[in-house]
Amino acid sequence: MKARVYIETTIPSFYHEDRPDPLTIARREWTRKWWDERRHSYEVVSSQAVLAELSAGIYPKKQRCLSFMESIPFVPIAPEIATIVENYIQQKIMPQNAGGDAMHLALASYHKCDLLLTWNCKHLANANKFSHIRLVNTLMGLHVPTIITPLELLGELS
């Protein structure tokens, strides 16, 4: 059985990123390498929340990012998700203005995704937050996904 990976907004964004700084170039290349060479080893899912974030605003790579999402099945946003998101914010796992990040974590947890794939290292892929996330999810009876970057999933290919 393949591990289930929830793709959040930074993955299609970095896949199509074109800023010239070295860190952005590296993240783009690692994202493309994982997506192009390794994603078929996983069950990849995402959500309408990612599509909504990518649809917001005007930016040059918008259509490419939206097209990226076309082949990914979406997990449903069940009514319980709002309560989980609110709990994350109340428990200070996510800041008040990070509803998107709380939503992605809630969806990956609720739908028992093995991994939440992200480049958001401030609010999600942050080792300093993981024990707090694990504690709150455990208290709510939720699965605890591993929150990881594409580089970490490349393993021996990096």
pLDDT for the residue numbered 6 = 98
Are 147 and 137 spatial neighbours (Cβ–Cβ below 8 Å)?
A: no
* pLDDT tens string 62-83: 999 999 999 999 999 999 999 9
Are 150 and 30 spatial neighbours (Cβ–Cβ below 8 Å)?
A: yes
4-157 carries CATH number 3.40.47.10: no
Global pTM reads 0.94
Total Cβ atoms within 10 A of residue 108? 31
